[in-house]
Amino acid sequence: MADEQNSVSSILEDKTYKYGFTTNVESETFAKGLTEEVIRAISMKKNEPAFMLDFRLRAFEKWKTMKPPEWPNVHYPPIDFQNISYYSAPKQKKVLDSLDEVDPEVLRTFEKLGIPLDEQKKLANVAVDAVFDSVSVATTHKKKLMEVGIIFCSISEALQEYPELVEEYLGTVVPVGDNFYAALNSAVFTDGSFVYIPPDTISPMEISTYFRINTEETGQFERTLIICAENSYVSYLEGCTAPQFDTNQLHAAVVELVTLENAEIKYSTVQNWYAGDKETGKGGIYNFVTKRGKCQGNNSKISWTQVETGSAITWKYPSCLLLGDNTTGEFYSVALTNGHMQADTGTKMIHIGKNTRSSIISKGISADYSSNSYRGQVKVGKNATNARNYSQCDSLLVGDKCSAHTFPYIETANSSVQVEHEAATSKISEDQLFYFESRGISRENAIEAVISGFCKEVFKQLPMEFAVEAQKLLTLKLEDSVG
């Protein structure tokens, strides 16, 4: 044990270790590399319960035997996983004195998106009036949620305050050895969100990560766990339309959702990570995410809605395990790629219970030199009598250098099943835009109309303001690509 302590301490940089684990020194970062000692150090530093360390170590053992997936239709140089530092204390974002200090490119985007000035300041982390300060907004939100018994906190906090809930559900949807990046995340994640909705509770508001992570840099390995108990409902929003930059290139998050009987979770994401240099594609974020929901109780429902507009490489398949009878899984996706972006995204719908339903609406927009793949699996088990699936995968091409691919996989082991798949490819052309212009409609409005028409079925799933912003974001991203 003493030996172990020593090796653990050697991982921690001397200075920080000397002052103990609770120090708030800004640059508290582990040396690069991943070993068992690093994982023990992370767990110790976060003062985690024993089951958590065990979970991490099991994940690490699995990870060591695994290889990064090669089947996605994306290409990137091999990542040196020993050249990454796996622990960094949450850093406060640098507070700026005024919007003048913000990158003009970011401001231009804010303006185009129509984000109000106060909001712009919040997003860029400019010091604002205490009343509008995001921390106080967050506190108010948390209080309101607590009044009806809803827990919304960071997963680190949950491990301290509600360890039995975390232990019961963590890793039950995405097992520690599920895939290479999920295993890595399970071994080393340092933070993320935790939500618990008690039975018979309709969340009085949409819960947004925006109110949690605003003052801190997002972790590289985020972990989210949402549990919705019997007869409850929650709508959860992740991300925002504002452009996000990060010094870490690799992002491997894991999100797990669990619904008990008659419960429903609606999970919406808008992602606009830095996609790299438009000409060369250099420097963009790699977004390798495992998102999965488990409809555990009968009559429960999980719905994923995503608007993916950023990252150099996206590898992401928000999925549903339809375990209970009469459960429903939905996936609504808009994935836009431009520049040299590569996206391989889609969903998995696993029908296990009887009368399970799933629908998949995927809209891929590719522009410039980008590559956009839809990959979806519909799997129906032998007991899933009367299961139904409907899939629709449409692609919109902008220009002639980009590509769109569709990889549907359908497997059924039950003859009473009905599975439908539709796919279509269309183009946004100079001729279409000219047609609008010759009716006095501006190019910008024309692009917006075509895009929002194409994405209609997905946008209507998003909360109103989110939908409006997402639509503007897509238009903005495509303006330079058309013509």
Interacting residues with other proteins (CB under 8 A): 426, 429-432, 434-443, 445, 449-450, 452-454, 456
Minimal distance, residue 431 CB to other proteins, in Å:
5
Residue 176 or 458 with smaller CB distance to other proteins: 458
Rounded-to-integer distance, Cα 1 and Cα 336, Å: 52
Minimal distance, residue 85 CB to other proteins, in Å:
46
Residue 254 or 447 with smaller CB distance to other proteins: 447
The amino acid sitting at 181 is: Y
Minimal distance, residue 396 CB to other proteins, in Å:
9
Residue 6 or 425 with smaller CB distance to other proteins: 425
Helix, strand, coil percent values for the chain (each to nearest 5) = 30, 30, 40
Instruction: Give me the residues paired with residue 348 across strands.
Output: 377
Check: CB of residue 471 under 8 Å from CB of residue 459: yes
Rounded-to-integer distance, Cα 139 and Cα 309, Å: 30
End-to-end Cα spacing for the chain: 66
Check: CB of residue 303 under 8 Å from CB of residue 266: yes
Residue 58 or 443 with smaller CB distance to other proteins: 443
Rounded-to-integer distance, Cα 49 and Cα 68, Å: 30
Pairing outcome for strands 191-197 and 151-154: antiparallel
Residue 416 or 442 with smaller CB distance to other proteins: 442
Pull the structure tokens for residue 212.
């949690």
Pull the structure tokens for residue 200.
């018979």
C-alpha R_g of the chain: 23
Minimal distance, residue 38 CB to other proteins, in Å:
50
Rounded-to-integer distance, Cα 453 and Cα 133, Å: 37
Minimal distance, residue 450 CB to other proteins, in Å:
6
Residue 245 or 435 with smaller CB distance to other proteins: 435
Minimal distance, residue 433 CB to other proteins, in Å:
9
Minimal distance, residue 437 CB to other proteins, in Å:
4
Residue 48 or 394 with smaller CB distance to other proteins: 394
Torsion of CA 134, 136, 138, 140, to 10 degrees: -140
Minimal distance, residue 266 CB to other proteins, in Å:
24
Which residues, in sequence order, are CB contacts of 411 under 8 Å at separation 6+?
377, 378, 379, 380
Residue 155 or 470 with smaller CB distance to other proteins: 470
